[in-house]
Structure 1
Amino acid sequence: MPVKLIAVDIDGTLITSQKEITPEVFEAVQEAKAAGIKVVITTGRPIAGVTHLLEKLKLTERGDYVITFNGALVQDVASQEDLVKETLSYDDYLALEFLARKLGVHMHAITKEGIYTANRNIGKYTVHEAQLVNMPVFYRTPEEMADKEIVKIMFIDEPELLDQAIAQIPAEFYDNYTLVKSQPFYLEVVAKTVSKGNAIIHLADKLGIDMADTMAIGDEENDRAMLEVVATPVVMENGNPELKKIAKYITKSNDDSGVAYAIRKWGLN
């Protein structure tokens, strides 16, 4: 079966450790587009943190789509129309903000417009995220968050501290939300129905693409859901060892243009 849709993660996958797109990856994406394949950037980042990459890859034309916030938002890139948008409620925010305080870790909430934190001493990983995704940071008390349309919440802290906190999260939070670790210092929280996998299923259905004709390339736990639903799951050589257990193929590392190798080896052949 020819591949008709390729979902590609960003960090640790599409871009190098220097946050760059190699010429090989750019060329392979253009080859895939020319062959009629939908190349869909699928990331935990907000849309503001993806726009410059979409432009560099020429994935901004009519018929191009992007999946952001770990699947909470699916958009037509050219029109900016939302095909899927699943948000968290104010009550969700309050419950998660209280949990973060109880666990002693920094937390921030992300909307389409910016990153909001109730931590008076703003965490360094909140600053890191803001720089990474090109979004402003706002200090707001919990009371000031009632009117915000929150798409994702992140617990962010030193890896050891974050792991200790994760071990103490009550089971009810796993029942009510999707929690995925995307970096050693990031735990991302979205609505229970949200995942990269569900977003890909929805988009493929809208485009009339059979899931048997789909492929995904990723490296970390927040990619698991999409790797589990596509017919051709590909994990980066630098990827999480646990993810490699569910991969059909292992491609080269992100610093060695692994996305280009995967597209040409298993997407175009």
Structure 2
Amino acid sequence: MQLIDIGVNLTHPSFAQEREAVLARAIAAGIGQMVLTGTSLDDSEQALELCRQLDEEQRLYCTAGVHPHEASHWDSGSAKVLRGLLQEDRVRAVGECGLDFNRDFSPRPQQEKAFEEQLALAVELQRPVFIHERDAADRLLAILKDFRDKLPAAVVHCFTGERRALYSYLDLDLHIGITGWICDERRGTHLQELVKEIPAGRLMLESDAPYLLPRTLRPKPKHGHNEPAYLPEVLTCVALHRGESPERVAAHTTDCARRFFNLPAL
């Protein structure tokens, strides 16, 4: 089985001393390709550089965008810088962008402005969008509806919402990313019921490493950090609750991710 991890925060400082080892463990675990997440302009540039430095086998690609937590830094020059990044071959999607009304690290009007301008860039350059949403589904949907017909595709990364939000996203023909949140007996049990509602061809898997270590993973790593090599644990949980074999889920989620990000076959 080969998997594609669509969300890896390889720029995170916790990986700084062992990025090559993390990638080697991922490949050994059957992770054929990985999409590194850009969360700010600087972070997106670093993700692109890691793709160039660490990969000669077409395994690493990345997104470029400004996370809602960083939206207060979005200014008149940000779109120009981002446009340049999005024209690099290794950059395959706009994001991580969206709305976060849970933590509100940036003012909501600034979040909305940054999100709208990044969606406009995605339309202009015909790139898919990698979306972050927390406690903001209604507002995000209202904004996204004005752009959706002109976007090639969009995925709600690390979906953790409720049934109404899921159905609304699917009605807009969005893709859904599922992480180790589904393995969490404290807060992810609702996803175990909802994951079967996501059609094949719209579902993708992601680690969101180093966050969201699957709580069902045994043995647990001493360092407590998640990494792409643990994505098969998410696969196992998703397969169980969809009533499909792991092989079947691996096949359709990998095919979906490859088409969404326009990744080459290995």
Name the TM-score, length of structure 1 as normaliser: 0.35
Name the TM-score, length of structure 2 as normaliser: 0.35
- RCO comparison, higher one (Cα < 8 Å, 6+): 1
Instruction: Name whichever structure is richer in helix by fraction.
Output: 2
| Larger CA Rg, structure 1 vs 2 | 1
